[in-house]
Structure 1
Amino acid sequence: MRHLISTIIALLLLGLFLMPASAVAADMEGDFTGTAVGEAAFDLANSSGCPTPEDTPPGFGITTITDAAGTAGSGGAVSLHSVHCPLATGGITSGQMTFTMANSDEIHGTYTGTATPIPPNIGDPILVTINIALNGGTGRYAHASGAATLDAELVFEGLEDLAWPWEASWTGTVSYGVDASLQFSRSADRSEPVALDGATVNGNLYVFLTPLVPPESGAISGVEFWVGGALVHTECCAPYDMIGGTTDGPATAAWHTPEVPDGEATVTARILFDDGTSQDITATATVDNSTPLPAEWGFGYSMDADRSDARPLLQSYAVSGSVYLFVFPFDPGLSGPVDLYLDGQLIRREYEAPYDLLGGSSDRAGVALDTTTLPDGVHRLSAIAVDSNQQAAVPFVVDNTPSDVETLESFPQPGPEGIAVDPEGNLYATFARDGELRMLDPAGEWTTVTTWEVGEGSGPLGLEVDGAGNAYVAVTTFNPGNHGVYRVTHDGESVRLPGSEAIIFPNDVAFDQQGNLFVSDTVGGAIWRLAPEGAAEPWLVDPLLLGTGEAGYPVPLGANGVAWSDDTLYVANTEQGHVVSVPVNEDGSAGTPLVTSHPQFLFPDGIAVGADGRIYTALIAQSTIAALDPATGALEYFATALDGIDWASSLTFGEGALDPMSLYAVNYA
């Protein structure tokens, strides 16, 4: 029985060393010291099926059951339960044990040890040394690891009593905590997760701890999420989402990375255990929103809740008063929600089109943005399609200063197409669908100067007035009998200029300093010239003047508005969205054309060159008047639909009694 006795003693002492001291380090590794007392009992019926020792009668087996209680160095209570089989020979013990902490978390371990002297004599002390290997458990100890050494002294007093009391002390270390990582998904359902650490990210991300429900969850009282040292959100329950979620559904919000400067960003999930300790799980990602996924949609605005007459909201566009803002076009083909931001702050998540900044329904926007609550100046509207990570943003201007745009006259639709002024201050306007040229005198009286027979979709368009007060009008009728360019006197006498009937689509006209008249051919992609008393002839035919057909009209819309300044002819190309600058050679021929454009220079129609050298343009589809700098490509908006601009088609600077520093424009709508 000597081998049996030594085995039992070693096992009993084993339970004492695993009492862990408290640990608060972020890596969850701490020193373990403590003491414990307990009692070992022996199951002679061998209910656990231990092997029969060689020096015992046949069928005799012993199962050793140990229970102990103690305290760790921090004062935390711990209990031990162990069931093992003693070795048949020698002084070596081996077995497995379970330690239960005060919060019911368990630590599992295996051990080996020695006891000397073996065999002992009654009254001799037995010195026991046991080496413990920790290998998991439950709760926060599900992934525990570590080692400890237990030293004990036991006095052998005989075999009369098979329930032996003992006591021991131990030292060691243990590492424990949640074996988790930070991951992210592009979808609220957390599908296809990717490790956050080392990733390059942009747009909206759903960040969370994985596994979604760690085995240690029973010991976790909450998880704090930090970004760059700032607390973002605290989650009480698994799954632990950085911006919140539900226990049985998707994450409720995404991390909007454009709110973080580009560069390295450290995200920390601080796991709070119910005993007051914590563990940090960190990930460092590179935020790069300099090249987001481009969106095939943008933003629009309307002054009506039903979004009627919606127009694109373009870069640097000015708004005022109450305005409805939304993703444009209304149905951009997205399958998931869209997060809408104003100046970097999440305003609303819209789950289906139309995606309104302040909410709405399929047929009505919910609430108008009261721009008077915002400071005048530049603001930023942005949106992220959550599922696809498409991003769009536009800087726009809030300007609630009183508008200096004045309506001089209103007409029933359709409105005028072209406008010009003469040295006497008379204002001329063409009405394409009525086939009329009208004049407004300084006294405010309108007169119909002349008319043409026109068909559907044609009529008098652009015009110019010479120093003698004669109006030159481009008339497109596609009827050889009256198609071409006309000179119209004050008294209404109308003469078609020779050769102009050959121009496919005469649209606008402009004089140079020598009195040559230049005419744009919108369909032919050309500029024609009529010398004084001469016939029309092609002056420049170039692909830069051709239309693309993208506007969807029956004919392509290329060269449109024309204006002359400093030996250069400027031509607006409607569908290509640019201005062509054509210098004039010494012999009067066309020089090499140059292009000036801007991403927001869309569907230009009539143009006029200002004293500052900029090209003032009626951007007809935007209901906007803007100035394009031909030298730099810079674009500045001057008037919008909020000022009463409604499909402005032509403009001119004042002359004579009309202020030469003011622009005069006509709305075609």
Structure 2
Amino acid sequence: MSVVPAAIVIILALSSCTAAAPSLSTEAPIPSKETATELLRATSVHEATGMTLLEGPTVGPDGDLYIVDVTAPAGSPKVIAIDPGSREQRSVYTDNTSAFTSAQFSPLDGRLYLTDFLGSIVSITADGKDPRVFFSGPVGGAPMNPDDISFDQAGNLYITDSTGAQDPYWKPQGRLVRIDGRTAEATVLAHGLPAPNGLAFTPGFDGLWVSHNTANRIDYLRLSENGREVKTAHPAIHVSAGIGQVDSLAVDADGNLYVGFHNQAAIFVYDTAGGHISTISIPTEGNGLSSATNIAIAPGTTDGYVTVSGNEGGWIYTFRSLAKGIRQSNGG
């Protein structure tokens, strides 16, 4: 073995310390920008309640877009179906007491399931017939304020309980609840959450995104094989939205996450690494629109829809998604 002179060793050591390091970019990607297009005005402000708030939406087996009007008074349409091609709309269902906050078609029985913020889950046929109370009452001894709904592949329901949504974020009372699609047995998966709102499974159903309205945070969860337990969970995305608050979620075929907002007329799109890759804006000048809460992408297409509401009424706007829609793209 040859001997290297000490002076050369020192020079080599110093040069290795001062050699240029590989360039690592710390700059966040610049989000692409898109402006949504008005499809139609679906509702006016209700005199009885002083507002209208469109949510849902979900694409039905007939290709129509089904939405709910959270604040519709008794007798006014609470579930509305819209034909995106003809722009015709029809009343599907109403009752005297409910405040429906989301809508999803079950893969188990094909019925439309509606979360009633007052504490129950109702199902109806696509034409609004045969209403059934699927679930009602307290969960774990505490009342529930069901907000959004997402089905797993077996037809079990995952519900965000937004209890505490009107309280400060430092008083977290919300929960994530699983309800068996066959027996209606309820299981609390997580508690002490800051007003959980939106939720959406990943394309492979191996992960679950959950947004927190009063924390402007989105968590990523992995569930047990039977879906009855949270195995891991961590805060995945912290959203800077000013006076806006994160609302509902939807996922496209590439796993991109679409985030709606209360008090901000825009959709933010994030990739699976948490990068903000696109912003879809809704024009607000002169129309009083202030919130773009819920998103749906028609399965197999890039036809996106968003429910937009404000002090002048409720609208449906359209946009082009970054990838095709799947079942998890229905942002109930």
Same fold flag (TM > 0.5): yes
Partner of 2:44: 412
CA contact (8 A) 1:539 1:590 kept: no
* Aligned partner of 1:620 among 227, 247, 262: 262
Partner of 1:629: 271
Compared CA separation, residues 536 and 508, structure 1 to 2 (3 A): farther
CA contact (8 A) 1:418 1:463 kept: yes
Compared CA separation, residues 666 and 576, structure 1 to 2 (3 A): same
1:490 maps onto 2:126 in alignment = yes
5 Å-filtered alignment, 1:153-552, equals 405-410=36-41, 411-413=43-45, 414-434=52-72, 436-441=78-83, 443-454=86-97, 459-467=99-107, 469-477=110-118, 483-492=119-128, 493-499=130-136, 502=139, 503-523=143-163, 524-543=173-192, 546-547=193-194
CA contact (8 A) 2:217 2:239 kept: no
Q: Distance in 2 between matches of 1:666 and 1:507?
A: 15
Q: Deviations over 1:60-80 (max 9, x none)?
A: xxxxxxxxxxxxxxxxxxxxx
Q: Distance in 2 between matches of 1:433 and 1:648?
A: 16
C-alpha deviation, 1:449, in angstroms: 1.5
Q: Distance in 2 between matches of 1:536 and 1:426?
A: 31
C-alpha deviation, 1:522, in angstroms: 0.7
C-alpha deviation, 1:494, in angstroms: 1.4
Compared CA separation, residues 611 and 484, structure 1 to 2 (3 A): same
1:407 partner SS: strand
Q: Distance in 1 between matches of 2:240 and 2:277?
A: 10
Partner of 1:360: none
1:575 maps onto 2:239 in alignment = no
Q: Distance in 2 between matches of 1:609 and 1:643?
A: 25
Q: Distance in 2 between matches of 1:433 and 1:647?
A: 15
Q: Distance in 2 between matches of 1:500 and 1:418?
A: 22
CA contact (8 A) 2:39 2:87 kept: no
Q: Deviations over 1:308-352 (max 9, x none)?
A: xxxxxxx99xxxxxxxxxxxxxxxxxxxxxxxxxxxxxxxxxxxx
2:263 partner SS: helix
Partner of 1:562: 199
Structure 1 alignment gaps of length 5 or more: 1-314, 317-377, 379-395, 478-482, 548-557
Partner of 1:640: 281
AA matched with 1:532: G
CA contact (8 A) 1:596 1:630 kept: no
1:622 partner SS: coil
C-alpha deviation, 1:499, in angstroms: 4.4
Partner of 1:185: none
TM-score (norm 2): 0.67
Q: Distance in 1 between matches of 2:72 and 2:279?
A: 30
CA contact (8 A) 2:35 2:282 kept: no
AA matched with 1:649: T
AA matched with 2:135: P
CA contact (8 A) 1:627 1:636 kept: yes
C-alpha deviation, 1:443, in angstroms: 4.3
CA contact (8 A) 2:180 2:186 kept: no
C-alpha deviation, 1:650, in angstroms: 0.8
C-alpha deviation, 1:624, in angstroms: 1.2
Q: Distance in 1 between matches of 2:156 and 2:239?
A: 33
AA matched with 2:198: G
CA contact (8 A) 1:475 1:485 kept: yes
* Aligned partner of 2:224 among 556, 560, 585: 585
Compared CA separation, residues 630 and 643, structure 1 to 2 (3 A): farther
C-alpha deviation, 1:500, in angstroms: 5.3
Highest Rg: 1 or 2?
Answer: 1
Q: Distance in 1 between matches of 2:133 and 2:208?
A: 23
Q: Distance in 2 between matches of 1:412 and 1:438?
A: 13
C-alpha deviation, 1:605, in angstroms: 0.4
Q: Report the count of equivalent residues.
A: 249
Q: Distance in 1 between matches of 2:120 and 2:214?
A: 23
Identity %: 22
CA contact (8 A) 2:122 2:135 kept: no
* Aligned partner of 2:253 among 601, 604, 611: 611
Q: Deviations over 1:606-630 (max 9, x none)?
A: 1001222121000222211011234
AA matched with 1:515: G
2:232 partner SS: coil
Compared CA separation, residues 579 and 472, structure 1 to 2 (3 A): same
CA contact (8 A) 2:35 2:280 kept: no
Q: Distance in 1 between matches of 2:230 and 2:222?
A: 6
Q: Distance in 2 between matches of 1:404 and 1:623?
A: 11
Q: Distance in 2 between matches of 1:526 and 1:409?
A: 35
Higher relative contact order (CA 8 A, sep 6+): 2
Q: Distance in 2 between matches of 1:641 and 1:490?
A: 29
Q: Deviations over 1:391-425 (max 9, x none)?
A: xxxxx98x7xxx65221111323241221112321
CA contact (8 A) 2:190 2:230 kept: no
CA contact (8 A) 1:422 1:469 kept: no
CA contact (8 A) 1:615 1:627 kept: yes
1:661 maps onto 2:327 in alignment = no
* Aligned partner of 1:652 among 296, 302, 320: 296
Compared CA separation, residues 560 and 450, structure 1 to 2 (3 A): same
